[in-house]
Structures are given as C-alpha cells and as structure tokens.
Amino acid sequence: MIAITGGLGFIGSHTARALLDLGESCVLVQRRDAEPPPELAGPDVVVERADITDLGALLELGSRHKITGIVHLAGSMPWPPDPDQPVEAARRAIGSLFNLIRAAQDWGVGRIGLASTIGVYAGVPGAGPLREDLPLPMASPHVIPAFKKIGELLGGHLADVTGLEIVNYRISAIWGPRGHAADPFFPAPQLVHAAARGTAPDLSALRSPAYAEDAIDLCYAKDCGRAIALLQLADRLNHRTYNVASGRATTNAEVVAAIKTVVPGARVELPTGGTSGGTCLDITRLRQDTGYQPAFDTERAVADYIAWLRAGNER
C-alpha cells in the first residue's frame, strides 16, 4: 500500500489513479476530511485525515495500514508566505519532511518520492533539454523552488545516513482535470476553461503577459500521475532525481491551435511578440528506468480536458 500525502489534490489524485491501474492500493493522506472522487472510490483506496506536521498522527497511520511506499505531494512549503510567522512556516515545511523520513523508518518503507519542481532550473544557462545532472544555482527567484532545493539536499543527506531510497521528482508545468483554473505561470488552463465556457480567457492571474510564441514543458496531469506511479513501483531506479515531464516545449500557439480544433471559433487568441524556444526537460532517465512514454499530445490533452469540464466539473 502506497501512502500519498496530498492524495486527493491535483497531482495526487492522478497519481493514485495510476497506482490503482497498476494494481497497487493507496492510502490518501489529507489534512482535512474529504471523500474520494468517484474515479478513486473502491476497496483499494483509503482516505486518512492526518497533518504531516504532527509526527504522532502520522505514525499512527502505520498501525492501521501496511504502508510499503510514500509519495510526498502535499504542499507543505511556506506558500503563500506568512508575514507574521515566517520562521514557524519554514519550520513546519522542513519538519514535515523529517516526519515522513521518521515514519518511513518506523514502517519499513522501501522508497520515498519527493515532489520537486521545474522551477529549480531557473537561472541554469544554456539551451536544450534540461538534464537532472546540471548544476543548479544556489539562489531561487521564488519560495517554492527555494524550498524544493532544500528538500532535495536534505533528502540526499538523509538517504545517505538512513539507507532509505529517497527519490526527487522534478515536475514540469502540469495541467488537466482537478488542476488550477487560473495558473500564475502559464496560460493553458485559462485558455481551456474559456473555450469550455464559450468566453474570452481571463489572464489576469499570470505573473507576466502571455504571448503566442512563449513555450514551456507542458505535461498533462494523467501522464504526470502515471510517471510518478511508475517511479514508485519500479523494481530498480538508477538515480535519485528524475524529471517528470513531456520532454518537449509546447508553445501557447500550439495550445490555441489544439483548442480551435476541438472548439472551432473559441476566442482564445494571444498576441505575438514573445520569446521563442522555451524550457523543456530531458526525460531520458525516466524513459530508461520505467519505460514511460507520454500518452497525451497537445490536441488529445485539450480534448480530454474540455470533455472533463463540459461534463460538469468545475476544474
């Protein structure tokens, strides 16, 4: 049984579904009471309420379930920042990782997966797909990649001193069902939601203007969940860090074109004037060690996402 922190969240729910499809059972760890969605309901899924910053509550899960692996996807970093308690917020974020390592020792867990982010590559010079062995700058432009770097460093140290297998997932830009309706870093979700509703997109949540030529490694949520599940269940992994991505940079223009194929007349045009190229992650390690191949190209992802929204789902 695999424990997934944040198991009913965006990436967590898709990871759980992928693990179930591969024949594994899951315990989904949430801070608040919640029921699993219909696609996760069944005898192989248990939802447990526990705050991972509370070591006692976390350890108690091991008395009720035979947990063999941990996938840590809960958003425990201090975001958004707490201006009144910044030290305590940071303490909780780092403490939750220590608690999971302690729990893994107590439960005899074989492998722990830690969610990291494409953002750790910010400031890496050069072009081409970004590999996991590239040196990263010490500074980070945002609190999320800053704490993900800390987590990777701590995970590496703790793997060395405890003998646990701790694996980092550097996750790219993820979009799809149950995700953000308005993402601050890329406009694909806003464009799809607008097309499904028949409205013009509201891009006010973006941190910078969106242009047709802008590109990033967009990975559909179902592919992301399957990649993480394969990493968790692989008999052997040859590395501690893996990019979880599509392996290619998708332009906003490609997303717009795919939307118009599914919804002719959708009002989702973007201005030109952006930067060509864009960031993509090298997924050679992931392919070689798990056999992963992305199943969703841009058009298939758009069609699936719009169908999900038109079925009455809000995001």
Give the pLDDT of residue 93: 86
Choose among 105, 101, 136: nearest CA to 122: 136
Tokens for 170? Answer: 């550097």
pTM for the structure as a whole: 0.95
Chain segment 188-207, per-residue pLDDT in tens: 999 999 999 999 999 999 99
Residue pair 166/158 in contact by the 8 Å Cβ criterion: yes
d(CA 308, CA 3): 27
Give the pLDDT of residue 125: 84
Chain segment 78-107, per-residue pLDDT in tens: 555 666 788 888 888 899 999 999 999 999
CATH architecture of 2-173+220-244: 3-Layer(aba) Sandwich (3.40)
d(CA 240, CA 222): 23
> CA 117, 119, 125: angle at the middle one, nearest 5?
130
Where, residue-wise, is CATH 3.40.50.720 in the chain? 2-173+220-244
Q: How confident is the model at residue 279 (pLDDT cuts 50, 70, 90)?
A: confident
Give me the percent of the chain exceeding a pLDDT of 70.
97
Mean pLDDT of the chain: 93
Residue pair 72/114 in contact by the 8 Å Cβ criterion: yes
Chain segment 10-68, per-residue pLDDT in tens: 999 999 999 999 999 999 999 887 788 888 989 999 999 999 999 999 999 999 999 99
Give mean pLDDT, residues 236-249. 98
Give the pLDDT of residue 82: 65
Asked if pLDDT for residue 260 goes beyond 60, the answer is: yes
Chain segment 151-173, per-residue pLDDT in tens: 999 999 999 999 999 999 999 99
Asked if pLDDT for residue 127 goes beyond 80, the answer is: no
Give the pLDDT of residue 275: 79
Count of C-beta atoms within a 10 Å radius of residue 125: 7
Residue pair 79/144 in contact by the 8 Å Cβ criterion: yes
